[in-house]
Amino acid sequence: MAGKLLIARHHESEWNKKGLWTGTRNVPLTPYGFQKSADMGHAIQGISIDTAFSSMQVRTIETLACMLMALELHDVPVEHARELNERDYGDYTGKNKWDMKKLIGDEEFERVRREWDCPVPNGETLKMVYERVIPFYQKAILPLLVAGKNVLVVAHGNSLRALMAYIETIAPEDVKNIEMLFGSIVIYGVDKEGRMTGKEVRQIASEVPA
């Protein structure tokens, strides 16, 4: 029997709080982010975790550490992978999202944030994120699930949206409807191809201006 895949978005970073596009920048959690990351750990109490993954970015590393500490799991093997890093927002990195929304207009703003293949200057599209996340999932994570291991993955809004698109077999034109909320833990059962056979969402109360 395949193991469970648990995916979670890092909690509030200092730039989330300011409404800035963070992308590839290494920005730590706020005190609120640390507190809520521990709450996310408590939300999955009772599910054994055999191994865990995060991106190479500090906000996911801190979130994962808080979750495991809350669960009193001190010996879980952890791997940090650049393939799980957040989308590179290129020239938009560090810009205030709401100022950019006024500058480029509501429609273009939503396209940049949500659509499958909308470019940003010198950055990545969600399609490009998918093209690095899914091979890593298939190579490094799926064999553990097939072997019956429960795996926790803490990553970012866009790298997780890409992963969810594959797991849930969502067409590119529908990817804009995928949302990975702060404070959500999505628990999947998967088949040998890594596609969804079951889904549960656990959500803690979160208020993040992102």
- Tell me: the pLDDT tens digits for 124-149? 999 999 999 999 999 999 999 999 99
Residue 203 is assigned to a structural domain of this protein = no
Catalytic residue among 12, 62, 86, 124: 86
pLDDT at 1: 80
| Strand residue runs (E) in 12-111 | 51-54, 78-80
CATH number of the CATH domain containing 17: 3.40.50.1240
Residue 136 is assigned to a structural domain of this protein = yes
Catalytic residue among 10, 83, 124, 156: 10
Domain limits at 61? 1-144
Number of domains in the chain: 1
Residue 153 is assigned to a structural domain of this protein = no
Residue 4 is assigned to a structural domain of this protein = yes
pLDDT at 148: 98
Is 10 annotated as catalytic?
Answer: yes
DSSP state of 84: G
What is the C-alpha to C-alpha distance for residues 60 and 76, in angstroms, rounded to an integer? Answer: 16
As a whole-number percent, the residues of the chain with pLDDT over 90 amount to 97
pTM: 0.96
Is 86 annotated as catalytic?
Answer: yes
Asked whether the predicted pLDDT for residue 190 surpasses 80, the reply is yes
Average pLDDT, the chain: 96
As a whole-number percent, the residues of the chain with pLDDT over 70 amount to 100
CA nearest neighbour of 84 among 49, 53, 58, 63:
53
Residue 196 is assigned to a structural domain of this protein = no
Residue 44 is assigned to a structural domain of this protein = yes
Residue 87 is assigned to a structural domain of this protein = yes
Lowest mean pLDDT among 79-88, 190-199, 201-210: 201-210
Asked whether the predicted pLDDT for residue 209 surpasses 80, the reply is no
Read off the pLDDT band of 210 (50, 70, 90): low
Provide mean pLDDT across the span 162-176.
97
Residue 162 is assigned to a structural domain of this protein = no
